[in-house]
Amino acid sequence: MRTEQPKMIYLKDYQAPEYLIDETHLTFELFEDHSLVHAQLVMRRNPARGAGLPPLVLDGQQLELLSVSLADQPLGAGDYQLDDNHLTLHPASASFTVDTSVRINPQTNTALEGLYKSSGMFCTQCEAEGFRKITYYLDRPDVMSKFTTTVVAEQHRYPVLLSNGNPIASGPGEDGRHWATWEDPFMKPAYLFALVAGDLWCVEDSFCTMSGRDVALRIYVEPENIDKCQHAMNSLKKSMRWDEQTYGREYDLDIFMIVAVNDFNMGAMENKGLNIFNSSAVLARAETATDAAHQRVEAIVAHEYFHNWSGNRVTCRDWFQLSLKEGFTVFRDAGFSSDMNSRTVKRIQDVAYLRTHQFAEDAGPMAHAVRPESFIEISNFYTLTVYEKGSEVVGMIHTLLGAEGFRKGSDLYFERHDGQAVTCDDFVKAMEDANGVDLTQFKRWYSQAGTPRLAVSEAYDAAAKTYSLTFRQSCPQTPDKVEKLPFVIPVELGLLDSQGAAIALRLAGEASAQGNSRVISVTEAEQTFTFVDVAERPLPSLLRGFSAPVKLSFPYDRDQLMFLMQHDSDGFNRWEAGQQLAVQVLQELIGQHQQGQALVMDQRLVTALGSVLADESLDPAMVAEMLSLPGEAYLTEISEVADVEAIHGAREFARKQLAEQLFAALLKRYQANRELSRATAYVAESEHFARRALQNIALSYLMLVGKPEVLAAAIEQFDSADNMTERLTALAVLVNSPFEAEKAQALAVFAENFKDNALVMDQWFSVQAASPLPGGLERVKALMQHPAFNIKNPNKVRALIGAFAGQNLINFHAADGSGYRFLADLVIQLNGFNPQIASRQLAPLTRWRKYDSARQALMKVELERIRASGELSSDVFEVVSKSLA
Ligand code: B3K
Ligand code: ZN
């Protein structure tokens, strides 16, 4: 909790540290009501800061200082200064040691930052600034140190004692206690420190690296979860091999550990050699985790593992550079997932997510650049912009340089900066130097917030056989800046002739055509590209693979979109054409709804999706993606003023129309795939994910028609599926159906069967919280009283409250403001014990500008109420005050 008004911190104020910590020796004594932390820091003046010995200001929060020595001399009260956030010492020589002992209370740490207890085990979360809640330290990423850690705890309760690096010694202690010492040979900042003590079992495996070293791999979990680790272990081994093959990166310690904990503020954390994971990002087996959960585990295991190089070996100089490690690592994990599954489907999912959520962030009060220039609370900047847009920025560098050039750049980056704490500029510089290119203008992607618009128009000259495309870029103002300079926008494109065949692409001035699909760089506010030898008016396929995170507009008519859906050689753009067609049709329906007219849907959408459904040669995962209409949140994002009822009404109407008119085709694909599911045991592989995705989306359409045979099919799938993917979809379609008795029965059976599995119960909560049927808020309130709900557990909060406010738009945005009131009450409550979660849950209220004036007023009242509610954490303070600015 803050004691003074939180302050804004600026990138321009960065200064290198006054002192360095060469070695850090820690001893933790863990007890049931408190813990003692003894730290010895081997320090010296930072030569880069010149001569002189300024005061040494160590960070520390919520620590009870028991003793402090400087250069082996115990200090008395007058020898140092202490406030809520710092311990200030006065060194008398350039090299010295600092010894401190502090008492901390992990048992009462509900913020889940620093050292805390979760389900009987001790664990840590230090990124970004949690280490200062463990001991006095220079808690900043550019202070890197060699850590040795000894953990002492009761043997019986905590047989497993872990920290970073390699185990070097262990033994019994007094009074039933024991100890273990770990040494991490790699210099690291404090945010990568980790400690775990608990009664854990582990699954073991090994990996032989490309240079022939054997690495022990261990996944630690609570004993009852030991049967749910194999998928994560397989994912880990695949990640290790992939990083060797794709980036030439080899693992560097003798052991790599993952520990699953139940109470965790985010997905996982890349601590050196000792990754700590939310159990939802580790545990997966057919009966309890969906296909999506399996893919999420694979992606997060990979992401954290890849951080070993992009983040740990080369780390961030300061927290403004967060995207240096996060954007790059998301780009790396997306490449991995694309190679493990379908590249096109992965791209579709990532783009849909980015356009729905990151674009909304860019358009809201928390909009910030990929490399922000200021912040109040860094925890608020683990955002879609830093992660997902950051990954797009790295992806554009990849597109501009090509795979080989990019690899040369990443090799140089890792080689040049190994063991250093660096900036986004250093990353780009390595890409420039390795390729002899100038990315100066490109770097505006790091400093300018907001989603650029790219409006494209065409002109065909039949006599000259030339075809020109004119691009006009602009970027709306964001809270940080009004005027934006032109970006470098790589646009991958192709031209289709009237048969759907690709036209060879030759720009005016070029000696010959250069392929059928190519990347052009739009670098000016307005720029025209003229293609020659174009024998007939072509149809352009623009921004293939979503080659830049922009809002592109081109005046396609619906027939042209249907043509692209069928003929575009770029799979992503075939999907995109279908989405644009659906958006046009849905926007027309939204208009009809607003006018109070009867809704009449353009039949071309039915025809287009009907042919997708009938095409058995298409990847079923692609078919499933193409059948998914743009979501309500996306339709909200692209609206000037979002009309909650009209969006929901129009989309539901369209879904029902499609279900009725394509009933036979949907049923056929459903039955064929359900048959296969029945005949084969569950396999967690791409082909099977694809098949089940189609089966399940077909079932959710079919169920809208309300036929008894479909109800029977849903119940059959619910009762006899051997996996959670099929069972949960069956539950969801029942929950969203009007069949009250069957719904109640399914919910009760599910809860009874899975009451002991917290992660499965999370899904049970989410399915109900996201149901758009009337009465959503009452259902959520009732579920908060369920014995399996626990507001202290972040997964539960996300499953119930996050799903309600984030996915159930029609209920959350109830015109009477009841949803807003509920969320504000909850944020006020969460602020009192877990500021990070409080601040995250607040996001839907920050989007108030998207809504009608009545809703805007209601949302602002709630933001004001939170602001006035008392002691706000810096996390909530920043979001609320920026939202109301
Ligand atoms: N680096 C962590 C995120 C830490 C968030 C701290 N509030 C997980 C990740 O991105 O891999
Ligand atoms: Zn990360």
pLDDT in tens, 422-456: 999 999 999 999 999 999 999 999 999 999 999 99
Distance 323 CA to ligand 2 centre (A): 9
Q: What is the pLDDT of residue 157?
A: 98
324 CA from centroid of ligand 2 (Å): 10
- Asked whether 138 and 59 are in contact (CB, 8 A), the reply is yes
Pocket flag, ligand 1, residue 551 (CB < 6 Å): no
Which residue puts its alpha carbon closest to atom 9 of ligand 1? 269
> Is residue 113 lining ligand 1, measured as CB closer than 6 Å?
no
- Report the C-alpha gap between 418 and 249 in whole angstroms: 12
Distance CA 623, CA 617 (A): 10
Q: Pick the residue whose CA is nearest to atom 3 on ligand 1.
A: 269
Out of 271, 272, 326, 874, mutate this one to test ligand 1's pocket (max ligand atoms within 8 Å of CB): namely 326
Taking only the tens place, the pLDDT of each residue in 49-77 is 999 999 999 999 999 999 999 999 999 99
- Ligand showing the shortest atom-to-Cα distance for residue 271: 1
Report, as an integer, the average pLDDT of 469-484: 96
Cα(127) to ligand 1 centroid in Å equals 6
- Look at residue 327 and tell me whether its pLDDT is greater than 90: yes
Burial readout 510-525 (b: 16 or more C-beta within 10 A, e: otherwise) = eeeeeeebebbbbeee
Q: Is the pLDDT of residue 374 over 50?
A: yes
Find out whether 247 and 332 touch, Cβ atoms under 8 Å. yes
Q: How far is the CA of 322 from the centre of ligand 1 (A)?
A: 10
Closest atom of ligand 1 to 128 CA is 6
| pLDDT > 60? residue 2 | no
Catalytic residue annotation? 304
| C-beta of 788 in contact with ligand 1 (< 6 A) | no
Q: Which residue, by CA, sits nearest to atom 2 of ligand 1?
A: 269
Using a 6 Å cutoff on CB, does residue 333 contact ligand 1?
Answer: no
The answer, yes or no, to whether residue 1 has pLDDT greater than 90, is: no
Q: CB under 8 Å, gap of 24 or more: what pairs does 728-737 form?
A: 728/290, 728/763, 728/767, 729/696, 729/699, 729/700, 730/699, 731/764, 731/767, 732/700, 732/767, 733/699, 733/700, 733/703, 735/767, 735/768, 735/771, 736/703, 736/771, 736/772, 736/773, 737/703, 737/706, 737/711
The CB of 304 under 6 Å from ligand 1? The reply is yes
Whole-angstrom CA distances from 501 to 337, 536, 557 are: 30, 12, 19
What separation in Å is there between the alpha carbon of 608 and the centre of ligand 1?
42
pLDDT at residue 885 greater than cutoff 50: yes
Q: CB within 8 A of 522, min separation 6: which ones?
A: 454, 471, 473, 488, 489, 490, 491
pLDDT at residue 591 greater than cutoff 50: yes
Please name the residue whose Cα sits nearest to atom 7 of ligand 1: 379
pLDDT surpassing 90 at residue 774: yes
pLDDT band at residue 238, thresholds of 50, 70 and 90? Answer: very high
What pLDDT digit, counting tens, does each position of 189-235 carry?
999 999 999 999 999 999 999 999 999 999 999 999 999 999 999 99
Cβ neighbours, 10 Å, residue 594: 13
379 lines ligand 1 (CB under 6 A): yes
The pLDDT assigned to 189 comes to 99
**Mean pLDDT calculated for residue range 724-744:** 98
The 10s digit of each residue's pLDDT in 5-55 is 799 999 999 999 999 999 999 999 999 999 999 999 999 999 999 999 999
**pLDDT level of residue 4 (50, 70, 90 thresholds):** low
Average pLDDT over residues 724-729: 98
Q: For CA atoms 677, 678, 680, 682, give the dihedral sign.
A: positive
What integer best gives the mean pLDDT of the chain? 98
Ligand 1 pocket check for 834: Cβ under 6 Å: no
Task: Read off the pTM.
Answer: 0.99
Distance 110 CA to ligand 2 centre (A): 23
For residue 269 and ligand 1, the question of a CB distance below 6 A is answered with: yes
Counting every residue, how long is the chain? 885
Is 270 a pocket residue for ligand 1 (Cβ < 6 Å)? Answer: yes
Counting ligand 1 atoms within 8 A of each CB, the residue from 123, 126, 239, 270 with the most, and so the one to mutate, is 270
Measured distance CA(309)–CA(293) in Å, rounded: 25
Ligand 1, atom 1, lies closest to the CA of 269
